Each structure stands twice: as structure tokens, then as C-alpha cells.
Structure 1
Amino acid sequence: MTLTAQPSRALQGTIAVPGDKSISHRALMLGALAVGETRVSGLLEGEDVLATGEALRRMGAEITRHQDGTWSIWGVGVGGLKEPETVLDFGNSGTGVRLMMGIVAGHPITATFTGDASLSKRPMGRVITPLTEMGAHIHAREGGRLPLTLTGAERALPITYPLPVASAQVKSAVLFAGLNAPGQTTVIEPAPTRDHTELMLKAFGAQVATEEGPKGVRVIRVTGEPELKACTLAVPGDPSSAAFPVVAALITPGSDITVTGITLNPHRSGLYTTLIEMGADIEILNQRQEGGEPVADLRVKASELKGIEVPPERAPSMIDEYPVLAVAASFAEGKTVMRGAEELRVKESDRIAATAAGLRANGVKVEDLPDGMIVEGRAGTVEGGGHVATHMDHRIAMSFLTLGLGAQKPVTIDAGEMIATSFPDFTGLMRRLGAQLESGANA
């Protein structure tokens, strides 16, 4: 189904966005590897996370949703997963499949991983390489793509692995495989990435040490063969999901909204730092700690933005937010330069190419670079009127619906059903703020 965003009146109201997707995946996974009952509130119930839960059930974990919306996971202990009898289907979830490959690599079992057409195009080689070093045997399609079959190590080998490119997914896969290896498994990352895995491993009782090296290098060590202990977790709001109503409020005149309970983990908050540098009126309220994560409410008012040069080293802390940042940049005065984001080329789509094409379709000049883009802002007046190809990418879809709310003419995306992978109630929530989003016929 197509979706069309009409130019909007001022957005008003207080909302809570879904639970953080990255934390939700990890809560299910570590709950399944712990001993006892792990209780989780605020879990994102999007398709990606539900696929992770189903995969864990097929390997022996008991996972139940209660009527009050909380979840219970009865774990099997580190090394206790059983071989699944059927293929593990991760749909559109790159995080789910890569992290689960790490978990299975530390078990002497065989599992076959698959996904939808989009996920099957994404390269898995950067996870396959370290997991093979740890003793796993992996047979994949040409180019290291899904579907693939992974046989875990009889006795996983602890390794020291320098990441060629900063990636929280690869880091986490190696650390998860190292849970069932003797001694210490070490990951060296060239730049800091989101640290939800390290924080949550500690919450479950694992020994994790982190050292800061020169020039932003981080060294993370996990001691293998722990007995993880079940715990109670509250999943905070997802800053990547909050990005869409936040940018919509910034670019829609007269808007004043509050988004509650967002994690502002410094490895995830790069977008908000950047928007504030661009002149965004974002007030950080009620700062607190929940489940080891820094959490706050955000009050956001419509703002006149100015183009800036985004520091390339900030890219890992906002890698999923570049498409919606490009939308904000199109309403700014002057150029916004974004570099250091080459990973966008191998996300659910080539997000650099898809974002640039969508902006051009709506009257915005943009130069796409190998590792980012340069957007020429329209100083608050974006023509709109474009029809945008999403390439079945949920973040491209939501970004250009956001653009349509502040544009002069409606903006239509060719498909919106994949939004449910990360933000099932996106259209409902935006409508409650006053956005006009209309469903159409198939493109």
C-alpha cells in the first residue's frame, strides 16, 4: 500500500515511541542464555524483534507475553540451546540474524538462517570471518549472503578480533560467541559503537571489561563460560524511532511536542547532538537512569535550522538516522555535509542512493558521496510533490513521510507495510499528533 503525507498543521501532544529495537533484541537473547526467568517491560513488538523471539523458541527457550504487555523469558543457560528443527527466518532483521549467528556459533548445533528478499541481499561476510576463526563452519550463498547454514564449534575458540569497520552488530556477534568459549574473547573497535551489548552482559552477570585506547579505539573483553543470571529489564524508548516525530515537529511551523522516555545513550544520541548544533529547539527534561541506560524526555518546537558539517567520527552514534537528518537538512538554511557513513550503502537498502533520489524527487539538491551526502537546504521551503521509491526500507519510508508533513505539496511513498518491522504504530502515533497520513492503492 502506498502512503501519502499531506502538508501538516502544527503538531501538538505528548507521545511515547516504541521500545528500543537494539535493546529489545539483546534482552530476548541474553534472557534465553540466562538461568531463571527474565522479565522485560517495554519490549518493542515489531516484526524484527518478534522474529528473534520465535528463533529462540525454536532453540529451546520459553518466551511468553503477559496480558499487561510484559514478557517472560525462561532461559536455558550459556551453551544450552538445542538444534532447531526448522529454518530460522529473520524477516528483515539484520541485527537479529547477525547477533543470533554469534550465539549459535558458540553452540555445537547446526542452524539454517534465512530472511526476506531485502535481508537476503545484505552481506554477512564481516560476521562470517570472525565466527569462522572461532571454530564455526558456515556455508552461505555467493557473496556471503542468506540463506546460510551455520554449524557451531564443538569448543569455541577465544580470539582477539580487530574490527575492520566499526560495527555494533559484528562486535556483538563475536562477544556472544565468546560466551561459550574458555578464557577471554576480545574485540577491538576503531571507533566507539553502541554499547548495549556490554551494558546488558554486565546486567546479566557476565565479566566484561572495556578500555579506551588512543584515537577513539575501544577494547572490549568478555570472560567466557559465565552463568548468566536472570534479571528484570525495562526497555527505554528507541531514539531511532523518536527521530521521525522529532524532525517532523522541527520542520512543521507552530509545532510543540514532547517525546517521553527516550534512551540518550551517548553511543546512540548523535542525531540529537547534530540537530541542536543546527539550531533545533530541543529541551532535554527529566533525565534519569533506567536499566543501566540514560533516559530523558524531549520537548521539541518548530525551529529555523542552519546547515552544518557533521563530524565523520559521529557516524556510529547516528548511523540509522542519516535519512531523516537529510530531511531536516533539506529544510535548513545552507549546506549540510554528512560523511563517514559508508555503512549506509549496505543497510536494508543503499540508504545514500535512496535518500538522495527521494530528496531530488521533492525539489532538493543533493550530492551523494561514497560515504555520505551534501544537502543544499531550502531555508524552510521544500517543494515536495514527489513519489519516493522506498526499496522496502522502513527508515526511508518514514523519513519521506516526515518530509511530506513540512513540504509545500504532498509526498507519496510506494510502500509502507515494512514500517511494522520497527515502528508498528507509526501512522497512528503521527496522526495523534495531528499529521495527515493517507493510505492508497498498491503502487
Structure 2
Amino acid sequence: MDMIVNPTPRLNGKIGALSSKNYTTRYLLVAALAEGTSTVYYPAHSEDSDAMRRCIQDLGATLIEDDEKATITGFGKHPLDVQELNVGNAGAVLRFLMGIATLCPDVTFVNTYPDSLGKRPHDDLIEALGQLGVEVEHNDGRLPITIRGGKPTGGKIKVSGEVSSQYLSALLFLTPLLEQDSEIEVLGDLKSKVVIGQTLEVLEQAGIIVHASPDYMTFSVPGRQSYKAQDYTVQGDYPGSAAILAAAAVTQSDVVVERLSVASKQGERAIVDVLQMMGVPLTHENDIVHVKGNGRLKAIEFDGDAATDAVLAMVAAAVFAEGTSRFYNVENLRYKECDRITDYLAELRKAGANVEERQAEIIVHGRPEGVEGGVEINAHYDHRVIMALSIVGLRAAQPITIKDAHHVAKSYPQYFEHLEALGAQVKWI
């Protein structure tokens, strides 16, 4: 389905933030890796988190869910001997489960999204799993991927952090279950270190001991550990809320978003600081962000590595800022559902934005007067691109049509419903 985003000068209202996709997938996984019954309160419902739900059940977990919680009885360190797993288009779920699948004799991850996840490389994780004595059959580092494991060993493991931190997270979830102790060394510049902090936070809550160096470049993981069955509560999601907050920032607005923890370890919490740096009137108290936008923004420079999933929304806001903004250290955006630098900026140009790209930078020459719009743009099946393009549509002179906008459901199924509740003029076609 396509979405028409009409110019919308004013947004008003209150919404509750979606539950965090990143924390939900991690909590579901550690609950499945425990022997016993765990409860996850307020889990996110999206294509990614649903992929984790589906796969842990395929691997032997039982899951019962109501409107408030998911109750999971785990399989511990003994997943079922499954032949095939389908993660849909969920890259993090794939990578986390590639680690866990080494406990199975022979598992194939199928390729159901050849134009998106099917194009993404996983070589660094494949190489690391090979160091555990696991045989991996793959298509030049891409799906379909078959893992022949059963008895992975621990020991010394080296993994690159240059492309994604998800490879390291996969090893951190797996290695506590192995018979041997493990020493993990990260090679190169580790991307998205803040997300590793989230993984370590969840592991600690699950009773797992990991000794991490302060720079997250070396890890000592004792083997023969067990995940504890217990209760978890999912916090509100900053990556999805970043788009709502940016939309409020570029319009005349009085918008409240609840359930955004002031003390959150989500790197995308930086959206609040960035919008304040851009001169947007807002407060953040008692886990509530209140934006009183006036549509006036100032250009900024920002290191995007720690807030990867909010950068596209920040860029969308910068399209309307006074001056030139620069978002640097963002090369890992190229290795997501699409190339979130080249592909995204191409669509922004169609809408009338003045943007430039470098290998690891996005440069935005702001147009406070707005952009022309009046075009059909391709979001490349990428949920973050869809949300970011919708922000630009609110300030365009003419409507923007976003192709295949239903792929927003990968992380935020209610996104356009929430925008509409705040007064945005949007329409499915």
C-alpha cells in the first residue's frame, strides 16, 4: 500500500510511545534461553518482534500472550532440532539466532526478502562462528544461510565491529551457554556501542555474567552459565518516537509523547538533545516529552553513531533548518534494510531537499521555506526511510506519495495511525 502525506501545518495531541523493539527482541530471546517461565510486560508488536516470537517457538519455546504481557517457557540451551527458520526481514533477529542456531545440528535461514535483508552481508558473523568449530554454508555472505553446529566450542573469538554491533551481540547471547569460557576480541571500530550496552543490560538482568572492557573491545565470558527465568518490563521506544518528535518539531505543534524514560540507555534518546540543540521548544520530565514546535530550526553537527536509528528523522528535521547541518560517523547506515545514505538522500532530492552525501556523512543545506513535494517517492522497503520521508511531506508545498509505506510495520505498525491522531493529513491508497 502507498501513503499520501499532505501538507499539515499543525500537530496537536498526546500519544504513548510504542514499546521498544530492541528491548522486546532481546527479552524474548533471553526468556527462550532460560529453563522455566518468564514474563515480558508491554512487549512491542511489529514485524521484527513477531519474527522473534515465531522463531523462538519454532526452536521449542512456548509463548502465551494477552494485551499486557507475553509469558514464555524457554528451551534453555537445548533448542529443538529444526530444519528451517524464517526471520522475515528482521536483520537483528537473524543475527542473534544465527548464534543460537549453532546449538542445533543443521538449520537453514531462508531468504524471503531478496530485495532487502537478502542483500545484507553477514560475513563477519559467519567468520566468527567458524572460530567456534561451526560450519556455515552461505551465498557470498548472504541468505540463504545454513548452519551446521550442534557442539560449538568457546575459546578465543575475534569479530569485526566495522559493519554492525549485532554480530557481537549474537556472540554475547551464545557464549555463556558453551562448555568453555570465551574471550571475545572486537576488531576495527565497533559501531553502535550504545546498543552493546543494551545487550549487556539485558544479559545482566537475565543473570548472565560478562566481563567487558570499558571500551567494549574485549569481553571475558564464563561458560556453563544458565539464563534465569524472570520478569521483564519493556520501556518506550526512542527510535520510533524520534520520527513523531521530529514531525512535531517541523510544524506548529503542541505534542506530548509519554513513556520515554529520561534514564534510558537507548542511544536514540539523543533525539531529544538534538532537537533542543536545533532550538525546538521542548521539555523532558517524568518520562514525558512535550514539544511546542514553531517550525523554526537551527542547523547542527552531530555524531550519529550512537543514535543510528534516529539519524534519518534528525536529517528530515534538518531539511527545514536555517543553515547547513552535518551528520557524521554514519557509514553503518549503508548496511541496513537499504543504503540509508544513498537511497534516502535520492528520495529527499526528489521532494526538493538540498542534501549531499559522503561515505560516512550526510550534509543538509536547510530550506526553512519548505520543499516542493508533489512527487512519488520510493522508500526502498525500509521502515525508517518511510517514517523520515513522511516528516518531510508535512512541510512540502504539494502532497508526497510514499510507495509501499506499509513496510513501516517492520518496527512501528501504528505509526501513521498515531500521526493521524495528532492531526496529520495522511491517506492510504
- TM-score for both structures, normalised by structure 2: 0.93
Instruction: List structure 1 segments (4+ residues) > 4 angstroms apart after TM superposition.
Output: none
- Could you tell me which residue of structure 2 aligns to residue 308 of structure 1? 300
Contact 2:3 2:405 in 1 (8 A): yes
Deviations 1:265-296 (CA, angstroms, capped at 9, x unpaired): 1533233332222222231111xxxxxxxxx2
Contact 2:132 2:157 in 1 (8 A): no
1:322 CA displacement = 2.1
How many equivalent pairs are there?
Answer: 419
- Could you tell me which residue of structure 2 aligns to residue 201 of structure 1? 203
Amino acid at match of 1:355: Y
Question: Aligned match of 2:143 in 132, 143, 146?
Answer: 146
Alignment of 1:258-273 (within 5 A): 258-263=256-261, 264-265=264-265, 267-273=267-273
- Provide the secondary structure at the position in 1 that maps to 2:92: helix
- Provide the secondary structure at the position in 2 that maps to 1:212: coil
Alignment of 1:54-65 (within 5 A): 54-65=54-65
- Provide the secondary structure at the position in 2 that maps to 1:262: coil
Deviations 1:196-250 (CA, angstroms, capped at 9, x unpaired): 211111111111223214xxx5433332221211111111111110011100100
CA distance in 2, matches of 1:53, 1:187: 30
- Could you tell me which residue of structure 2 aligns to residue 323 of structure 1? 312
1:108 CA displacement = 4.1
- Provide the secondary structure at the position in 1 that maps to 2:298: coil
- Provide the secondary structure at the position in 1 that maps to 2:39: strand
1:177 CA displacement = 2.3
Contact 1:326 1:355 in 2 (8 A): no
- Of all paired residues, the percent bearing the same amino acid is 30
CA distance in 2, matches of 1:430, 1:421: 17
- Could you tell me which residue of structure 1 aligns to residue 338 of structure 2? 349
CA distance in 1, matches of 2:166, 2:407: 21
- Provide the secondary structure at the position in 2 that maps to 1:12: strand
CA distance in 1, matches of 2:207, 2:371: 51
- Could you tell me which residue of structure 1 aligns to residue 32 of structure 2? 32
- Provide the secondary structure at the position in 2 that maps to 1:150: strand
Instruction: Confirm or deny that 1:120 pairs with 2:118.
Output: yes
Question: Aligned match of 1:402 in 369, 375, 391?
Answer: 391
- Could you tell me which residue of structure 1 aligns to residue 327 of structure 2? 338
Gaps of 5+ in 2: none
CA distance in 2, matches of 1:28, 1:319: 23
Amino acid at match of 2:199: T
CA distance in 2, matches of 1:251, 1:73: 42
CA distance in 2, matches of 1:229, 1:81: 16
- Could you tell me which residue of structure 2 aligns to residue 183 of structure 1? 181
CA distance in 1, matches of 2:268, 2:78: 32
Instruction: Confirm or deny that 1:429 pairs with 2:398.
Output: no
- Could you tell me which residue of structure 2 aligns to residue 226 of structure 1? 225
CA distance in 1, matches of 2:169, 2:273: 25
Alignment of 1:5-404 (within 5 A): 5-66=5-66, 68-77=67-76, 79-85=77-83, 87-105=84-102, 107-114=103-110, 115-117=112-114, 118-141=116-139, 143-161=140-158, 163-165=160-162, 167-181=164-178, 182-188=180-186, 190-191=189-190, 192-194=193-195, 195-213=197-215, 218-253=217-252, 255-263=253-261, 264-265=264-265, 267-286=267-286, 296-303=287-294, 304-311=296-303, 315-404=304-393
Amino acid at match of 2:368: A
CA-atom RMSD, angstroms? 1.8
- 1:262–1:224: structure 2 CA closer, same or farther, 3 Å change rule? farther
Contact 1:166 1:316 in 2 (8 A): no
CA distance in 2, matches of 1:167, 1:49: 19
- 1:203–1:380: structure 2 CA closer, same or farther, 3 Å change rule? farther
CA distance in 2, matches of 1:133, 1:153: 14
Amino acid at match of 2:170: A
1:122 CA displacement = 0.8
1:50 CA displacement = 0.8
CA distance in 1, matches of 2:272, 2:183: 33
Amino acid at match of 2:40: V
- TM-score for both structures, normalised by structure 1: 0.90
- Could you tell me which residue of structure 2 aligns to residue 291 of structure 1? none
CA distance in 2, matches of 1:367, 1:201: 40
CA distance in 2, matches of 1:251, 1:155: 51
- Provide the secondary structure at the position in 2 that maps to 1:173: helix
1:166 CA displacement = 6.4
Quick check: 403-412 or 22-31, which moved more?
403-412
1:186 CA displacement = 2.6
